[in-house]
Amino acid sequence: MHQESLGVHYILDLFFCNVDLLNDSTYVISSIKEAIFRANANLLEDVKYEFTPQGFTAIFLLSESHISIHTWPEKEYAAVDIFTCGAHTKPNDACNYLIDVLESKKPVKTIIKRGEIL
């Protein structure tokens, strides 16, 4: 018996990002909120923690699951997880938007189907 997946989990490794953008948490948070809109998802709550001297972690709770980001400006790198469920969501649109706005010169996208029984 084949069951469709319950959700899809995109894992983005964003290498060689624009350092100035990664250091601007306000810009990144705003960009993720736009990515949530583009994914046709619904933001419930978000939390952010800034590290010293740079970098931050933010998690966005969605009614469809979550998006998280962890930045390492000193490495020109950001790790992003986008996990959504529901046929109405477009997580790949969110991924492509974040790749563009963080100016990643070497994005690596991994896609995992969640809850799928083969």
List, by residue number, the catalytic residues.
65, 70, 85
Query: For strand 7-15 and strand 43-50, is the pairing parallel, antiparallel, or unpaired?
Result: unpaired
DSSP 8-state symbol, 52: S
Nearest CA to 50 out of 83, 72, 20 is that of 72
Mapped to the 3 state alphabet, what secondary structure does 101-114 carry?
HCCCCEEEEEEEEE
Nearest CA to 106 out of 69, 70, 67, 78 is that of 78
